[in-house]
Amino acid sequence: MDNKLCDGVALLGRHSSCVVLPALAEDWTALAAWTRILGRVDLAAALVEATDRPACYVMSSEPDLYADDSMPVIGI
């Protein structure tokens, strides 16, 4: 993994508003299915979390990597 990316993840993890969410056992089927569709587990995990909560969105600099425009994804 790129050192700049690792530094950014560490910085985000220390932010007071950051909450690291666990991968729950009941989400594994959806996580596996979305990983197959999207090709990346990080995209799948964000999408599963967003769709498990009412009125939540994924904010991404890579919105085109999500399956289609019906996904709750906001490009930034």
Sign of CA dihedral 10, 44, 23, 74: positive
Do residues 46 and 73 make contact, with C-beta atoms less than 8 angstroms apart? Answer: no
Mean pLDDT, range 43-68, rounded to an integer? 88
Report how far residue 76's alpha carbon sits from residue 73's, in angstroms, rounded to the nearest whole number: 10
Evaluate if residue 23 carries a pLDDT over 90: no
pLDDT tens for each residue of 32-54: 999 999 999 989 999 998 888 88
Provide, rounded to the nearest whole percent, the portion of the chain with pLDDT above 90: 32
* pLDDT score for 20: 78
pLDDT classification of 5: cutoffs 50, 70, 90: low
Q: φ, ψ for residue 58 (rounded to 5)?
A: -95, 125
* pLDDT score for 1: 52
